[in-house]
Amino acid sequence: MPELLSKEIIAVRDAAETFVNDVLRPLEAELEGDVVPDVLRDKVRSSSQEAGFFYKTQPIEFGGRPAGVLELTMLRELWAQANSPLTNYIFGPGPGILHAADGELKTNYLDPVMRGEKRGAFGFTEPDTAKRPSWARIDGDILIINGQKSYVTGGATADFVSALINVENADGSKAGTAMVVIDRDADGVTIEREFASMEGGGHVSMMFNNVRVPISHVIGKIGEGMPRALDNIGNVRLMISAQATGICMWVSDFLERHLIAPHRTGIPLGEREGIRIRYADIRIETYVARSALYRTARIAESSDNDVNETIATKVFCTEIAGRVVDMAVQLVGGQALVKGHPLESAYRKVRSLRLMEGANDLLRINLVKGRLELHKGRL
Ligand SMILES: Cc1cc2nc3c(=O)[nH]c(=O)nc-3n(C[C@H](O)[C@H](O)[C@H](O)COP(=O)(O)OP(=O)(O)OC[C@H]3O[C@@H](n4cnc5c(N)ncnc54)[C@H](O)[C@@H]3O)c2cc1C
C-alpha cells in the first residue's frame, strides 16, 4: 500500500512533489503544443541532476544513486499523476537490456548510452506477415541476420536496436535465442516504415537482410535471449502499472475539481447522486489498483519471484486506468473529447498500455501457465 512507506521514501516523495510544483510547473508555462523543445528538455535534466532524481535509475558504477523498486514505483506514479510531458526527462538514461554487457558491448554501447551519447531501441515484436521469426546463422565469429521487427519505438533516431533473434549453428541446427545489438546504419538494415501511435509515440518497422554482426554483439550468451528480453519487459511492466495508477490519481483529482465547479443547470454535478455513484467507482478502482501496485513493488523489492504478480498488476492497473479515463470523459461531457483537453490525451495514452509490453490477454494466458505448470503466483 502507498501508506506505511519508510521515512526515507516519504522524504523523497515530498521532495518530488516540491520538484513538480516549483520546477516543472513554471517550465510547463513555456510549452507550446505537445512537442517539448530541446531547451526545455535540458532545463528539466539539469534541474533533475541538481535535485538528484536524474541518478535514481542509474547504476553506481556510472555515477548513479539507484533507488529501490518501491521508491522508483512511487516516483513513477507521482510523475504520471503530474500529467506533464516534462516528466519524461526527469530520470537519466538507464542500462535497460544492456545492464549485463561487458567487453566491447560495454565500451561501444552501454557506456555511451549511460553518458547520453547513444540511444538504443528494443526489437521484439514481429509482423503478422512474417514467414519466420528473425533468425541468424553463425558463420565463424559473425552472425548473419535476416528477418524483421515491426514495432520499434524510437527506432528512427536510435543508434542501435537490441533485437531478439533465433540463432542457428552453421549446420542449421538450433543454437537458441539471443538478444543481439544491431547498429541501425549497418549494411542490410532498412527502415521499412515510420509511424506514430495515438498516444504520441514514434516507431519504425525494420528489415534485416544478411546483416553481418560480430558474435560479441550477443548480450550474455546464445540461449539466454528470451529470458533476458522477458526480464527487461518485467521491469517495464511494473513501470507501466505505476504510470496507469498515476493517471487514475490525476483523473480523480481533475474530476473532483470538475464536480464541485458551477454547472449550467445551477447545481454542481457533484451534488447529483447518479454522478456520485460513478465518481465512487473511480475512487474505489483507483484505490484497489494502487494497493496492488504497491504490494507488487514490495514483492519485487524483496527479490522474491514476482513474475505472476507483476503480470496481474499490469493487467489490472492498465484496465482500471482505461475504465477510469473513459468514465471521466463521460462525466465531463463533450468538452473532454476536444483536442487539447487533458482527458482527450489521457484517453489516447491509456489505450496503448493494454497492448504495450504484452497484450493483456496473452499475459492472462502466461499467468495461468505460471500457476498450472510452474505452481507460481500469490493471491
Ligand atoms: C505504444 C506501443 C509501443 C510499442 N513499443 C514496442 C517496442 O519498442 N518494441 C517492440 O518490440 N514492440 C513494441 N510494441 C508492440 C507490442 O509489444 C505489441 O503490440 C504487443 O506485444 C502485442 O503484439 P501484436 O501487436 O503483435 O498483437 P498480437 O500478438 O497479434 O495480438 C493481437 C491480439 O490477439 C490476442 N492474441 C494473440 N495470441 C493469442 C492467443 N494465443 N490466445 C488468445 N489471444 C491471443 C492478443 O491478446 C491481442 O489482443 C509497442 C506497442 C505499442 C502499442
**74-106 pLDDT tens trace:** 999 999 999 999 999 999 999 999 988 989 999
Contact 331, 255 (CB under 8 A): yes
Q: Cβ-count burial of 215 within 10 angstroms (0-12 exposed, 13-18 middle, 19+ buried)? A: middle
Task: Give how far Cα 115 sits from Cα of 45, 55, 158, 162, Å.
Answer: 13, 12, 15, 18
Ligand 1 pocket test, candidate residues 125, 311, 366, most atoms within 8 A of CB: 125
pLDDT at 68 over 70: yes
Strand partners, 121: 161
Average pLDDT, the chain: 95
What phi, psi does 139 have (nearest 5°)?
Answer: -130, 90
User: What pLDDT score does 32 carry?
Assistant: 84
Question: Which residue has the least CA distance to atom 2 on ligand 1?
Answer: 356
Query: Considering the entire predicted model, what is its pTM?
Result: 0.94
pLDDT-based confidence at 17, cuts 50/70/90? Answer: very high
Q: Can you tell me which residue has the cell 519487459?
A: 233
Q: Does domain 226-372 have CATH number 1.20.140.10?
A: yes
Residue 162 CA to chain centroid, in angstroms?
16
Q: Give the Cα separation of 204 and 194 in Å (integer).
A: 4
* Residues forming CATH 1.20.140.10 domain(s) in the chain: 226-372
Q: Give the Cα separation of 153 and 48 in Å (integer).
A: 24
**pLDDT tens by residue, 110-150:** 999 999 899 999 999 999 999 999 999 999 999 999 999 99
Q: Find the Cα–Cα–Cα–Cα dihedral 330, 333, 335, 340, rounded to 10°.
A: -10
Q: Which CATH number fits domain 120-219: 2.40.30.110, 3.40.190.10, 2.40.110.10, 3.40.605.10?
A: 2.40.110.10
**pLDDT tens by residue, 191-206:** 999 999 999 999 999 9
**pLDDT tens by residue, 154-173:** 999 999 999 999 999 999 99
Question: Which residue has the least CA distance to atom 36 on ligand 1?
Answer: 362
What is the phi-psi region of residue 148: left when phi exceeds 0, alpha when psi lies from -120 to 50, beta otherwise?
A: beta
pLDDT-based confidence at 1, cuts 50/70/90? Answer: low
**pLDDT tens by residue, 255-288:** 999 999 999 999 999 999 999 999 999 999 999 9
* Residues forming CATH 2.40.110.10 domain(s) in the chain: 120-219
pLDDT-based confidence at 235, cuts 50/70/90? Answer: confident
pLDDT at 23 over 70: yes
358 CA to middle of ligand 1, Å?
6
45 CA to middle of ligand 1, Å?
32
User: What pLDDT score does 321 carry?
Assistant: 98
